[in-house]
Amino acid sequence: MSPTVDVPALLDWVGQHREDMLADLAKYVEIETPSDDRACLVAGLSYLDGWVRERLGDPAAVREYDGGQHGDIRVYDFPGEGDQPLLLLCHYDTVWPRGTLAEWPFTVDGDTVTGPGVFDMKSGLVQAVWALRALAEAGLPRPPIRLVLNGDEEIGSPASRPVIEAEAAGTRAALVFEASADGAIKTARKGVGLFQITVEGVAAHAGLDPTKGVSAIDELARAVLALHALTDLDAGTSVNVGVVTGGTRSNVTAATAHGNIDIRVRSASELARVNAALAALRPHNPRATLTITGDWNRPVMERSPGTVDLYHQARRLATQINLDLRDCAVGGASDGNFVAALGLPVLDGFGAVGDGAEARHEHISIRGMLERTALAAALITTQTIR
């Protein structure tokens, strides 16, 4: 049996610590952590390590993984009831370069907080930690907690993906504290493929010897049309060649051309269809060569029965505080995609309520932060015995 939870009581306790939470968020936002700045990421993770221990006490175990040129990954295991941990995923990197804070400081205006990374996703980590703190103060049980902090999510999690997949092994489910979608929980995300197309033609003088050359640009143009034709919006698939380069001079038949491809799919069957089409792509002129490189950056996060069940649990708890907790599917991907692909239930978007991810109007609602913290605490304690 899962414990009975008084969500309004949790919200009341969280509300009493509103200023403490805002102070924690302010300190965190004021430590810049751009994905491409190793020095900033090291400083940011060092600060977070001290803060997590201050708020939650010493963990039972800590594992640190080298992120290479990116941010390191730190995993905390906190004890609880049962032998299957609940996985909490939070990334600490942001898209904002060093120096952004000087021209766009952390600001509180009524119920609104702005600042670089406040929505995506620094508020989410603050909420996750304070949800665990609320349970401890209320004397409520919780399952073992595995908290993962990674510093390369915004650039596709190249270093942290294998760590996340390994650390997810043996866990019961995952809560991802990415920002919500206009308040909605994300129960499905598209898979993302990042590919490059390279065409090799034959250079020649376009005026003097037009038949001797093979235009790589012509071949690329034909390939772009074929790639864009793979788009099936009804099936949730979009294909976009967003950057093209090629050629040297207007009077020279282009010997090389390149294109960068972004592909989004919402089902494994569509992923397989697109993969087959990429493998079958051939040049129009047999004297040209065409090569596709790249891979799927994140697998599809499909709405599984386990995820739906976890969402309905959260939705029922939310009614106690008169919150209509919606769910949705989104085109963007997150680290939750990796865990969902392993067959585990995943609730994503459990973080901030607000808007403006990766934009200068990025902001959160303080009321939303308090509600989501209480709701996360309630959902976590209900996972104690299942």
Which residues are catalytically annotated?
A: 93, 153
CA proximity to 56, closest of 75, 78, 73 = 78
CB 98 within 8 A of CB 37: yes
For 92, the token pair is 């600490």
Q: What span, in angstroms and rounded, lies between the C-alpha atoms of 369 and 354?
A: 9
Q: Which residues contact 342 (CB under 8 A, 6 or more apart)?
A: 165, 168, 169
Residue 33 to residue 125: CA distance in whole angstroms:
14
Question: What is the dihedral angle through the alpha carbons of 44, 42, 161, 84, rounded to the nearest 10 degrees?
Answer: -60
How many Å separate Cα 47 from the centre of its chain?
A: 22
283 Cβ neighbours under 8 A, 6+ residues apart: 199, 219, 223, 289, 290
Instruction: For residue 129, give the nearest of 182, 58, 225, 55 by alpha carbon.
Output: 55
Taking a C-beta distance cutoff of 8 angstroms, is the pair 78, 166 a contact? Answer: no
Q: Using CA atoms, how far apart are residues 45 and 75, in angstroms rounded to an integer? A: 11
Number of Cβ within a 10 Å radius of residue 373 = 30
Instruction: List the one residue out of 378, 374, 339 whose CA is nearest residue 353.
Output: 374
| Beta-strand runs (E) in 100-216 | 107-109, 112-114, 145-151, 173-176, 185-189, 191-200
* DSSP annotation of 210: T
